[in-house]
Amino acid sequence: MDAPDHDLLRKYADHRDETAFAEVVRRHVDLVHATALRLLNGDRHHAQDVNRAMFCTAAMSQSWIWCRQRRRQRARLK
């Protein structure tokens, strides 16, 4: 996928497109992991935990945005 991250995140938020979110993760997983390793003084176990937590938080945040947008759309239809 050549789409920018914000477009992929929009696809995930609007359409629950797991492939789009997986692409964002693929693009950034190494950077997030390397940063966590550096901040945690090379502790690989904790760096993996941080990596998972960061992407889970991002997914949940996008889910929250998606739900909020849906509620607004329904409210406009009433």
Look up the domain containing 62 and give its range.
Answer: 5-77
Residue 41 near residue 56, CB atoms below 8 Å: no
pLDDT exceeds cutoff 80 at 54:
yes
Number of domains in the chain: 1
- Averaged pLDDT for residues 26-51: 94
pLDDT exceeds cutoff 80 at 37:
yes
3-state secondary structure the chain: CCCCHHHHHHHHHHHCCHHHHHHHHHHHHHHHHHHHHHHCCCCHHHHHHHHHHHHHHHHHHHHHHHHHHHHHHHHHHC
Distance from the Cα of residue 19 to its chain's centroid: 12
pLDDT exceeds cutoff 70 at 67:
no
Specify the pTM.
Answer: 0.71
